[in-house]
Structure 1
């Protein structure tokens, strides 16, 4: 065990014995909007520090707890502790739906403090897992990628987060979603010549020239790509357009912002080359680019995890169409999957909520596989 951490200002219940749904509520009830994760990080570190089977480490508001049992393989279980801003949805409360489903409501319940609570509970309760386990609780996921706490750990302490398989507790409705698509954003710039709109023939309208760019997008046929047994759907879409100087002037510039979601079999370099080919003849500036992550379902450790979880939850694994931090593990050569409670469609919603049974199912499935 590492040197003791100071007592947290707000304490969590003993994670080893607490009901995981109650623990989720307690984790949610410590507000941790991005940039304000300190109180929750303190509470997590203080809650795990007493356990002799864990080495507890900290970098900023990222807390890492790991076993060092000499096992031949290591599993990394990670989750971000920050949320988007609170909007009259804390403290948490519970409701029962008409069909008898008990739900926990409140900011973070879906994204992703249910997954965090599952990890916190199992980190304390599993004193002798079949593999060594690294539990990662990190900050700043909901803001600019440069601030991401997991990214910081990858850069500064890569040895803290390496392993043979990574599991990210993002909401997947208690199913497995393997890897993730990559994402690219680019500005397609069109130029013209300004003039008074009363004498429009003297100018060249850059906004009108955007028609060809939009036409290429409207006829674009996205691919469906099989990667390690999962079919990823790609997409290339306009997500913004801007242009114009004043209501009586012909615009001399127009910018169409596009977003390309690409299968993890395609590298970031290949994705950029593809977008430039689609918009050949136009000025293209890439403003954001992050590669995807292969699910690695053919890896024996991944296959064993999938088999154990699906035996409890039912249903086959699917692809993650959006980008998640599993891609950061891919940079380290670690196969990674998403697995956690909550409907991802409710992430960031004012009515964010998670079925209590999903929290318990995820905890039981992960415990059964690790133990």
Structure 2
């Protein structure tokens, strides 16, 4: 039996064979460098969709790739991923004599190792195969792979601005091993991230006469005390508790040991939750302190219970474990889609702790499982449309 016909790992209770072509497609996408420039990976996705599917394929000006099949006048169910990756570790890249870089791949124990396997080219490949094989039930099935997810959702935001607005979306970021070992769950909410800077202004003077100036570090410390006393944001989504956090992570002020500083900057990391933000504006009650927001990646909460339940039912049908609705701690492109009005869940092969590591890997067995989930959602859409 060839590698592409093998079961890909321990039997998960479905007795389903490996998805036709999923392994070589995953290897192709993962082997294509896309940390500096995702163009080549986008080319590979586009050419495969045109050659292997009957979908209407589009590549927008931003580099995002789309494929659509089913009824264009029906509600749209999108299978969403991204093909950019974070920079590889030294062990994950090799350079040829001509200076050409390629990503190192390794296979062992039913897993594929390499940059982008878990985050998230494996799930992208599973979604592509699902688009090829699914017979959508009263919906338009859309595949979308974005650029720039790792740098703030650049591609997703651009697509939304251009009118990308599916009614439903399954975002293929990691949801495996959340409720239990070997289980692929369905994420119904995730945290966002708001990065802020507090700038405290003062008046410098010689350190021997501090009363002649205004110490910006002292003012910054007063603002830090305000942050420390704030309650963490918290909410509940579909019975699941989502609790954010606030932390001062950097402080920078002063120019010399004998000068009272006239400026001090404080960095604040806030993990936001759907519908809630910490009142960081209270820091401006401290004289001389200004608060600015540097980045605000939105949280996500699924807005459609029936859709979330239908994806969970598809996940149960695809595995022997007992998947659950869970919460994810990390921001994803689902936040931008949800903010724009799409009902979103997250379901994907990546396990907790795999993404962005030098030993990043994905299970072929779980990729097959994700393919079955994605296809099942499209073919049982009558449960939520």
**1:52–1:315 distance in 2 versus 1, CA, 3 Å:** closer
- The answer on 1:151 being equivalent to 2:157 is yes
The partner residue of 2:166 within 159, 163, 179 is 163
SS in 1 for 2:300: coil
1:357 alignment partner, SS class? helix
Correspondence for 1:33: 35
Q: CA 1:332/1:202 → structure 2, altered by over 3 Å: closer, same or farther?
A: closer
2 CA distance for matches of 1:48 and 1:71? 22
- 2:372 is paired with a residue whose SS is helix
What is the match of residue 373 of structure 2?
365
C-alpha RMSD of matched pairs (Å): 2.4
Q: Which residue does 1:325 correspond to in 2?
A: 333
- Counterparts in 2 of 1:93 and 1:178: CA distance versus 1, 3 Å: same
Q: Is the 8 A contact 2:69 2:141 kept in 1?
A: yes
Task: Output aligned runs, 1:285-364, within 5 Å.
Answer: 285-298=292-305, 300-311=306-317, 312=319, 313-364=321-372
**2:115 aligned with 1:121:** no
User: Following the alignment from structure 2 to structure 1, what is the Cα–Cα distance between the partners of residues 354 and 52?
Assistant: 34
Moved more, 105-114 or 246-255: 246-255
Q: After the TM superposition, which residues 74-223 of structure 1 pair with which residues of structure 2 at under 5 Å, given as runs?
A: 74-87=76-89, 88-89=91-92, 90-96=103-109, 102-126=110-134, 128-130=135-137, 131-145=139-153, 148-156=154-162, 158=163, 161-173=164-176, 174-223=184-233
Structure 1: which 5+ residue stretches go unaligned? 1-12, 97-101
Which residue among 259, 276, 280 is the counterpart of 2:281?
Answer: 276
In 1: Cα distance, 2:346 partner to 2:83 partner = 16
Shift of 1:366: 2.1
Deviations 1:62-108 (A, max 9, x none): 11000143574320111010111222312210233xxxxx3211100
CA positional deviation for 1:125: 2.3
- Give the drift of 1:297: 4.5
Number of residue pairs matched by the alignment: 339
3-state SS of 2:315 partner = helix
Partner of 1:225: 235
SS at match of 2:294: strand
Partner of 1:57: 58
What SS does the corresponding residue of 2:190 show, helix, strand or coil?
coil
In the TM superposition, residue 216 of structure 1 has moved relative to its aligned partner by 3.2
